[in-house]
Copies of this chain bind each other. A is one copy, B any other.
Amino acid sequence: MCAPLVMEAVARTLSRRAFLGAGLGLLAGRALAQAEVRGKAFSKAVDLTHELSPEIPLFPGAEPMRITTLVTVRQNGYYGNRLDLWEHSGTHMDAPAHFAEGGLTAEKLPVESLIAPLAVIHIHERAAKDPDAQVNVDDILAYERQHGRLAKGAFVAMHSGWEARWRDPKAFLNQDASGTLHFPGFSPEAAEFLVREREIVGVGVDTLSLDHGPSKDFKAHVILLGAGKYGLENLANLAQVPPAGALLFVGGPKHRGASGGPVRAVAVW
């Protein structure tokens, strides 16, 4: 029971300096009950969001977004555009309802689930050799041996290094002659493990899909979204984030009936 006293003492000491963030511990803290938490102070913010434009990689068959300038400062005194886009464009969320009938749509997710301890699992070395690489249960267990058990309420992101291909849609999709896509993702077994054995809020990838490219049944999607978790796809800058110890903010979509939609995702630590 000494923690609150210490918190108070620090509050007094730091008073007019730097204490606003300290309490996030309580919010994230519940989620972090079993996590290995660093005592290190946060000093960085990294944007995990790619710029959204008509030129970005999209799943085959999806129409690119359109940005139509309606007014300009020079002609109208103010500048503004109309946007027309498929929900699953750019760095975006898959809400449970994207694959699960009756599942939550994005605007209905509890706001607390949009603030989560961020676990980044690196498989970039394997993915450099095998574009169809997957995050497997073994990768999760290896991560936990190094960084502690995944926190209750954690968000688990795959860093495969694929994000480096973002500006080259052909390389990002990596289709073979038969039209099959090749890029990394989560294996169905890993999805099942996260859903059954851990209490995560969601899963993210730096590729086009939670499932790896060759998947035809989108089983990781079905398992994760079917269990009420959300997904984030096309995440950026995961290489700049520590594997453990960062906090993720997901500026998720709030339109009615959202199967998902572009997000602004930021990591702080």
Contact = CB atoms under 8 A, between A and B. Distances in A.
Interface residues of A, number: 106
A257 interface: yes
A44 interface: yes
Interface stretch (A83-91, A156-164, A199-207): A83-91
Looking at A22, A37, A47, A65, the one whose CB has the most chain B CB atoms below 10 A away is A22
Contacts of A177: none
A44 B26 CA distance: 9
A179 interface: no
A173 interface: no
B17 A42 contact: no
Nearest to A267: B111
A23 B111 contact: no
Chain A contact residues: helix, strand, loop or mixed: mixed
B111 A47 contact: yes
Given A40-B11, A45-B111, A255-B262, A25 B32 contact: no
Given A254-B49, A255-B51, A269-B23, A83 B84 contact: yes
10 contacts: A16-B35, A19-B38, A20-B25, A21-B26, A21-B42, A45-B112, A49-B254, A53-B255, A115-B268, A253-B264
Interface of A: 2-4, 6-30, 32-47, 49-53, 63, 65, 67, 69-70, 73-74, 77-88, 90-91, 97-101, 107, 111-112, 114-115, 117, 148, 218, 221, 245, 247, 249-266, 268-269
